[in-house]
Amino acid sequence: MTTYRIAPSILSADFARLGEEVRNVVAAGADIIHFDVMDNHYVPNLTVGPLVCEAIRPHVQVPIDVHLMVKPVDRIIPDFAKAGANIITFHPEASEHLDRTLQLIRDNGCKAGLVFNPATPMHYLDHVMDKIDIILIMSVNPGFGGQSFIPEALNKIAIARRKIDESGRDIMLEVDGGIKIENIAAAAQAGADTFVAGSAIFGKPDYKAVIDAMRDQLAAVK
């Protein structure tokens, strides 16, 4: 049986009440907090950094999954590890030395992963599978919440699933962008086990109702 994990993205939360928001979403059943870091350079938007990660850390016990949409990446990694991150992922285009960056994340005590934009080829995985704990497939172009799921992402999830199974390693397969109750089962069917959802959860008044409905969809996946 696959263990499915729901990872609400704080990008769509109320930033004026962030501590309360993450507590509420974990109480509603979230398994992971997805923390989107944007730098107005690698992506055309600007969000939050290690200070805010540190501020929410005492509010929840679940892992904090830091998705770095920044360039360069290496300098900021130890800061996020100190701020309480458990998982750190980055985009291969944003690092000059992928192997070194993956090792740096692990050396700082976090799980490490690569993020693939809709048009980013998957070959970046070929020589680093032994340094990867998580693969994140973007199903939108990064930078904003509330965009529509790009169906081609399902093919990429399936490719990533094959690579993980062939490696025999315990690697999480996460999908991020436009995930909602209506399409979460298709992403699971393609091979994803971890589902980021921002607007679909924080955009609704009843977080538990959405997460429960997502779990019902996942329970029906064969």
Contact 203, 167 (CB under 8 A): no
Residue 76 backbone dihedrals phi, psi, to 5 degrees:
-90, -10
Question: Is 177 known to sit in a ligand binding site?
Answer: yes
113 binds ligand DX5 (CB under 6 A): no
170 in active site: no
67 binds Zn ion (CB under 5 A): yes
Dihedral sign for Cα 43, 173, 170, 28, please.
Answer: positive
Question: Is 9 known to sit in a ligand binding site?
Answer: yes
Contact 9, 34 (CB under 8 A): yes
Which position among 19, 44, 146, 151 is part of the footprint of ligand DX5 (CB under 6 A)? 146
Identified catalytic residue from 65, 133, 176, 193: 176
Q: How far is the CB of 155 from ligand DX5 (least distance, A)?
A: 19
182 Cβ neighbours under 8 A, 6+ residues apart: none
Integer Cα distance of 204 and 195 in angstroms: 17
Question: Which of 36, 133 has the CB closer to ligand DX5?
Answer: 36
Q: How far is the CB of 196 from ligand DX5 (least distance, A)?
A: 5
121 binds ligand DX5 (CB under 6 A): no
Q: What region, left, alpha or beta, does residue 74 occupy, with left being phi > 0 and alpha being psi -120 to 50 degrees? A: alpha
Contact positions vs ligand DX5 (CB under 6 A) = 9, 11-12, 34, 36, 67, 140, 142-143, 145-147, 176-179, 196-200
Q: Which residues are marked as active site?
A: 36, 176
